[in-house]
Chains A and B, each alone.
Chain A
Amino acid sequence: MFEPKMEVTVDELRHLISERAYEGDTMVLNMGPQHPSTHGVLRLILELDGEVIVSCIPDIGFLHTGIEKNMEVKTFEQALVMTDRMDYLNNLGNNLAYCLAVEKLVDLDVPPRAQVIRVLLAELQRIASHLVFLGTHGLDLGAQSIFLYCFREREVILDLFEMASGARMMTSYIRPGGVWRDLPAGFEEAVQNFLKGFPRRLKQYDALLTKNPLYLERTRGISAISQEDAVQIGLTGPLLRAAGMRFDLRKEIPYSGYEEYDFDVPTGCSGDVYDRYLVRMEEMHQSMHIVEQALKRMPSGPFRSKNRKFVPPPRSELGRSMEAVIHHFKLWTEGYPAPKGSVFSMVESPRGELGCFLEGDGGAKPYRVHFRTPSFAAIQALPHMAPGHLVADLVGIISSLDPILGDVDR
């Protein structure tokens, strides 16, 4: 007869909690996975001394969908759609990380127009993602109105994505060799419209929180972390920058032509929850500048590579050219072979370093794909950050990490 074993017992976690728990001094308490402030399905095992956290053990995997395994049985082009579903607030960023890896692996060129479109959309995505952060962060700390405002603004950006790719969230728009299709007519105007109204909105959000004494009380000095510690526990992105380290992959190892754009990398000084909030607020301003620059410099020309071995020919060519038909047929039936070898690409996602490890074995399917996701790193850093703070502050700490559980579990 099938006998379900007990859930993980406290004994199995003995090495992670202190001896005091056994003497009854401290209490071991479960938080989540269905907790409104865990941003999905994150479960935490907390050891508490009164209201103070002694140790915190994250338990993840509730959203594990085997994306890496699934990608191994799809061709390079098909596997792209899986990346949308990892970090569902950074779909285009995931597409980008994967496409950069594929392009590096098969040595594929990307035309300038596609590069600019990628940057434009990646920055819009960053704004949209930070808006969700801002909204949920405010909500977690009891500022309810900002949540609805942020989602209103985010909706405008999602409409832009819908214009470009046909989907609000699961875009699959950035493809190896360029983008899926050219930007539609009226897209530039729509972005301009958004840019016109957005700074005023940001100012309003700023007024709601930045100097709000209640908000300051709950965020300043919470979970402060030094630069060295932040690097040591693997934090990247806004979390690392809030600790004072000027580290942004868009500046460090520029991809998609980021070196040609003029933008600042905001940094904080103490690395606490408040600094993380400030850094992200400033990043939205910077992303807006990048979007403006991208619109200005948008070159004409092809939106995807002309290398027919990897990129399908335009529809119009299929009626005229036999070669185009062959290429089209080959690409959609068997895909393209990638050489033996492995590459690693990194992009700056709204949450930090998103790395894609891609290995080819000479066939048309990726032999191994691995995503080093920023949320995974952030959740693993939680045991270093939470102890010593109140349970009530833990809610703020989690939301300041801005974890996306789809990104953590993949």
Chain B
Amino acid sequence: MSVTVLDLAVSTLQKELAENYLETIDFRNQLTAVIKPAGILPAARLLKTHPELAFNLLAALTAVDYWPKTPRFHVVYQFYSMPKKVMLGVRVPLPAGKPELDSIDPVFSNANGHEREVFDMFGITFKGSRDLRRILMPWDWEGHPLRKDYPLGEEEVQFTFNFDEVNLRKQFAKK
């Protein structure tokens, strides 16, 4: 049962988004659809309103930084369907330069807080958001702490095994 709902979700997304749909990842029995930034708002609307799917709960919204690889960011959504009891992940790759994405706030009202957190921690802007301010860090904070080029503390100690890795981050260290 649950497999068929997810299959339907993936095939519907594929059909509706066409070239905006990139691939499907199946890892440990959890399905994740990878889509282009332009497809996120239609995808969210479709997943929520489709009567056979009814993904009515935005269970999580976060991001991952793959620096220095490209595309640098992935914004990750987890949608949960209360009637069908299934979960679907959606990933949206974003470039490093000016990461920007449509806000899904018009579809899921609870997205705003999570989007603010992603904006705060990763510096990803959400177009059309009703309130995009820093949420966890102080309002005058510089930088976005969860980015991978943002060092955890001060300059790290280099050893032979992590020399290159630390070198990459060095220019971003504060002290």
Contacts and interface: CB of A to CB of B under 8 A. Distances in A.
Interface of A: 5, 8, 12, 15-16, 60-61, 64, 66, 68-70, 72-73, 104-105, 107, 231-234, 236, 245, 247, 252-253, 341-344, 346, 353, 355, 357, 359, 367-368, 370, 372, 376-377, 379-381, 384, 409-410
Contacts of A232: 108-110
B58 interface: yes
23 contacts: A12-B133, A15-B131, A68-B146, A69-B145, A69-B146, A70-B152, A104-B30, A233-B109, A234-B108, A234-B110, A236-B57, A341-B25, A341-B28, A342-B64, A342-B76, A342-B89, A353-B59, A355-B59, A355-B60, A357-B60, A380-B113, A381-B110, A409-B136
B27 interface: yes
Interface string B50-92: 0000001111111011000000000010101010010101000
Contacts of A253: 85, 87
Nearest to B147: A69
Contacts of B25: 341
A231 B60 CA distance: 13
Interface of B: 25, 27-28, 30, 32, 56-62, 64-65, 76, 78, 80, 82, 85, 87, 89, 108-110, 112-114, 117, 121, 130-131, 133-140, 145-146, 152
A372 to B, nearest CB: 4
A367 B67 CA distance: 11
Nearest to A370: B62
Contacts of B114: 372
B136 A343 contact: no
A359 B64 contact: yes
B167 to A, nearest CB: 17
A341 B89 CA distance: 12
Interface of A is mostly: mixed
B82 A247 contact: yes
B113 A105 contact: no
A234 B85 contact: no
Contacts of B57: 231, 234, 236
A233 B110 contact: yes
Contacts of A376: 113, 117
A381 B32 CA distance: 27
Contacts of A353: 59
A231 to B, nearest CB: 5
B120 to A, nearest CB: 8
B115 to A, nearest CB: 10
Given A64-B136, A234-B110, A357-B78, A342 B152 contact: no
A381 to B, nearest CB: 7
Contact of B109 (A61, A107, A384): A384
A372 B130 contact: no
B62 A105 contact: no
Nearest to A377: B110
The 10 A-B residue pairs with the shortest CB-CB distance, nearest first, are: A234-B110, A380-B113, A372-B60, A341-B27, A370-B62, A61-B136, A64-B136, A368-B64, A355-B60, A344-B78
A107 B28 contact: yes
B34 to A, nearest CB: 12
Contacts of A104: 28, 30
A5 B131 contact: no
Contact of B60 (A60, A64, A344, A410): A344
B78 A60 contact: no
A66 B145 CA distance: 8
B92 to A, nearest CB: 14
B32 A60 contact: no
A346 B79 CA distance: 12
A342 B32 contact: yes
A367 to B, nearest CB: 7
Contacts of B60: 344, 355, 357, 370, 372
A310 to B, nearest CB: 15
A5 B140 contact: yes
Contacts of A341: 25, 27-28
B30 A380 contact: no
A245 B57 CA distance: 13
Contact of A60 (B56, B64, B87, B136): B136
Contacts of B108: 232, 234
Given A64-B136, A346-B59, A367 B113 contact: no
A304 B39 CA distance: 44
Nearest to A353: B59
A342 B27 contact: yes
B76 A231 contact: no
B85 A15 contact: no
